Amino acid sequence: MIQEPVHMNHPTWRLAALLTLALGLLGGCNEAKNKLVLPPSPNVGVAAPVQRAVTPYLEHTGTMTAFASVNLVARVNGYLKSINYIDGATAKTGELLFEIEPAPYQAQLKQAQAALAGAKAGLVQTQAEFERQNTLAQEEVNTQANLDKARANRDSDKANVDAADANLQTAQINLSYTRVEAPFDGVVTRHLASVGELVGTAGNTNLASIVQLDPIYVTFNISDQNVLRFRKNEGGRLTLAELQQIPIEAGFMDEEGFPHRGKIDYVSPDIDPQTATILVRGVFENKNHALLPGLYVRLRVPIGPPKADALLVPNRLLQQNQEGRYLLVVGANDEVEQRDVQLGEHDGQLRVVTAGLKPDDKVIITGLDRAIPGRKVTTRSISIASAPDGTNTSK
């Protein structure tokens, strides 16, 4: 019996084809599993550290204090006649701020003037009598007793004139105290007494205060170690004139950098043994009254000449572990290295690296989240300025 050929559309043919395809796919999968495909090396941006001259600074915190601040008091008693300023206003030197009723003191002044005039008139009479008695004594027609009496009367009237003159000056001073004037240019605080109020009866009554804000002081304390460091960098003890040429910079806690410029004004001649610190004071111009007494500020003072060829990196690149601060750099064979560093001064967004870094090192600037010490990376050169603070360093 002759067997007919199997057609391709026959069910048996289709089953054989599917089995062959399945076995082929299974063999391909097993072959792929035996091959290890490594991921590509992460891409990071690198740059050499910035190299330039940097001035070493001492950064500190200080307190603003008024250049001058006094209480305005009533030095004579009386009723407050007028208040001649607006609370919180700026006053000029000699400007009238308060006036105490002057009438009683004007009367005392007139009385003192009259007493002085009477004393002077009495002196004229006794002086004339003394001269007459002296002439008679020279002609030997007068006794010594009469001359001594005339001299005593003359001297007594001289003393009366001096006393009357002193009383007149006291009356003038008391009358001047009825005018409370600004002793210097400054801002006057709110008034503490009202018009019509009796003041000065129980000692000096505080009427208000005046504060001079331009210029303004800042005070801070530095440690004895920094004092020695400063002297070493400056070559020894500086004179007061040299100290007053040292600039000082200040900035508020919410300000960028140190926008306010001043100069050292005073350095204490001794170190406080209890705190091992020395008091330093600076002075700033403050025409717009941006600086106020009592405010805390950040300070920066140069403690030596500029250091040439200092190495700087962005402060945000510095990382820290239990051993200290470190940077990630790309070393030989494009492997990431963890480089321990020692740090110096801040310079804006940059930080001086004093040890642990070389000028030709490749510091990782971007892709820090993909850089693992000991692993290889693919590098591309970029500028440090191309990735400022706030950018995503993983890009």
Highest average pLDDT, of 23-27, 43-47, 230-234, comes from 43-47
95, part of any domain: yes
CATH code at 229? 2.40.30.170
What's the rounded mean pLDDT across residues 138-165? 89
Task: Say if residue 149 is in the same domain as residue 228.
Answer: no
pLDDT at residue 39, as a whole number: 74
pLDDT of residue 333: 86
Q: Tell me if 158 is assigned to some domain.
A: yes
CA-to-CA distance for 374 and 331, rounded, in angstroms? 10
Query: For position 105, what pLDDT does the model report?
Result: 96
Strands 179-181 and 198-199: unpaired
Look at the chain and report how many structural domains it folds into.
3
Reported as a single tens digit per residue, the pLDDT across 53-89 is 888 888 889 999 999 999 999 999 999 999 999 999 9
Dihedral angle at the C-alpha atoms of 211, 213, 214, 220, nearest 10 degrees? 120
Question: Which of 253, 271, 302 is the last residue before a domain boundary?
Answer: 302
pLDDT at 3: 46
Could you tell me if 80 and 199 lie in one domain? yes
Whether residues 376 and 355 share a domain: the answer is: yes
Domain-located, residue 217: yes
Are residue 296 and residue 348 in the same domain, yes or no? Answer: no
Average pLDDT value for residue range 315-337: 89
Question: What is the CATH number for 321?
Answer: 2.40.420.20
Q: Determine, yes or no, domain membership for 395.
A: no
Whether 147 has a pLDDT exceeding 60, the answer reads yes
Task: Give tens-digit pLDDT for 333-366.
Answer: 888 999 999 988 777 788 889 899 999 999 999 8
Sign of the CA dihedral running 107, 109, 113, 115? positive
Residue 310, Cβ density class (10 Å: 0-12 exposed, 13-18 middle, ≥19 buried): buried
Q: Are residues 196 and 120 in the same domain?
A: yes
Q: Is the pLDDT of residue 247 over 80?
A: yes
- pLDDT in the model for residue 272: 87
- Do 295 and 311 sit in the same domain of this protein? no
With vertex at residue 236, the alpha carbon angle to CA 233 and CA 239, rounded to the nearest 5 degrees, is 115
State whether 273 and 344 are in the same domain: no
Domain, as residue range, for 85: 76-209
List CB contacts of 183: < 8 A, sequence separation 6 or more: 70, 93, 210
Q: Spell 235-245 as b/e; 16+ CB within 10 A means b.
A: eeebeeeebee
**Co-location of 61 and 50 in the same domain:** no
248 and 292 inside one domain: yes
- Give the pairing type, strands 336-340 and 324-330: antiparallel
Share of the chain above pLDDT 70, in %: 85
* Boundary of a domain, candidates 176, 209, 242: 209
Least confident span in 19-28, 146-155, 158-167, 257-266: 19-28
Which pLDDT does position 13 carry in this prediction? 45
Let me know whether 160 and 244 are in one domain.
no
d(CA 61, CA 29): 69
Cα pseudo-dihedral 105, 209, 197, 202, rounded to 10:
-70
Query: Which of 151, 181, 209 delimits the end of a domain?
Result: 209
Are 199 and 80 found together in one domain? yes
In this model, does residue 309 exceed pLDDT 80?
Answer: yes
**Tens of pLDDT, residues 193-245:** 999 999 998 778 899 999 999 999 999 998 888 777 777 666 656 666 777 78
How far is residue 320 from each of residues 160, 276, 328, measured CA to CA in Å? 86, 30, 11
| Overall average pLDDT of the 182-201 stretch | 94
pLDDT number for residue 386? 55
Q: Report d(CA 351, CA 342) in Å as an integer.
A: 10
Closest CA to 53 of 357, 304, 356: 304
